[in-house]
Structure 1
């Protein structure tokens, strides 16, 4: 294992880790079947070493594996470079979504997965789509392992669910002896869904041990008529916080990159991917 890590560190210098989240609006067979849309999605994924994908609406369970197959066939060598983990279909009544994580297997691996049970006393079923939590190992970075808690809130419940993420963190930190946490996803934390007066009541924001890398003025929306910080990244754990430079926050504007019209871009998603970079491990001298 040490030899493998040394080899990775020797290939062009130490390797950091780019972590992204992407709400691919209503992702399913329809989008995988359209080459012009699939091309943008694949390019967005390959820019990252680890990507959280949200709003997967794939009742037959075929679209996402097809996406990964295309990813490994078109963008990598003879051996599959990307792996993934995906949640069960989550949601109330008939409306369901899935969370998934796509990752470069040479840089990151999955230690464990945990479907948050959403059964807190006196507050059962707090989430429309309860977080599918994953504990990752990352030998080439300053942090050797970290937990990602993903979330896609319904706009009308954004305040409540963002606050409830505090309980998710506490639950997961008891379930696993992990120290480094990233809470990320489509918080719907802007443009009227979270009024300014409500922020002081959100524990994830008022507790200063949680660091919000993304400001309230960050624009992650594709529509030109809106400038909304829907998507967010929150860190917890001193080592985790030190390992991510705030200036590494990046919104990937695929509309400009591919020269798309607003209509063409919205056919891909109404969200741009949001990325951060974790520092590479320091070389021993």
Structure 2
């Protein structure tokens, strides 16, 4: 039977999201691709240190067992194939079963998300993330300066999501940006019974829900909605999740409070948000990624 990715949760990830390669990347960003490749080759026997998304990947792969492979993680990198050797050696040294990779030697890699049927793309390259989102794939720019995930929950994959422009569309956010908080609250109260349209990360949440339902492994998934919404706008968010037949384990309606300290208590392996201020706040406490989607990231042209 030919290999297939059907019925698997597929995560595509760049080398800088999985490993700490910031020192090497300074050469790459400077345009000295040859020096970058030579440095990676000279460090072939030196395992790269874990990066921001390492904990998330390691825990997701723990859902696999000899009887069934439920999760596939694929390296999708602008690295050259020679540098890819170090990545795969670092993966092996870390005890992670990651077997597939695409190395484009500087070319845009996001086009390969389609044949991978990826449920998530994590990259440190903002342009690649924007293009992936534009093509309809859940994607986030990993803040490489984020702290590492905690180790208090080894048997749980913990993921936290913002609501508007992440799990949900930016319909309500557009009202807030254009007309302010009072208009936003009125809009959401009037439409409390009407589910919000899907946001870019709804497919990932649904895939995680299916993984949790199907898994017989010792691992479990714990999710949290961490949003700047507050009462009475909370109701529409809850009713939308009910309409999707998807439950989150925790919900935080923070009314604009900084999210970082709340996330520190939840201890996610990763947090996704469309607002750069919230992502930076989170990154001081937990692994975080910016979802460059919605009106906050693509404001309408001035009239």
The alignment's TM-score, normalised by the length of structure 2, stands at 0.29
The alignment's TM-score, normalised by the length of structure 1, stands at 0.30
Looking at secondary structure, tell me which structure has more strand per residue: 1
- Structure with greater Cα Rg: 2
Looking at secondary structure, tell me which structure has more helix per residue: 2
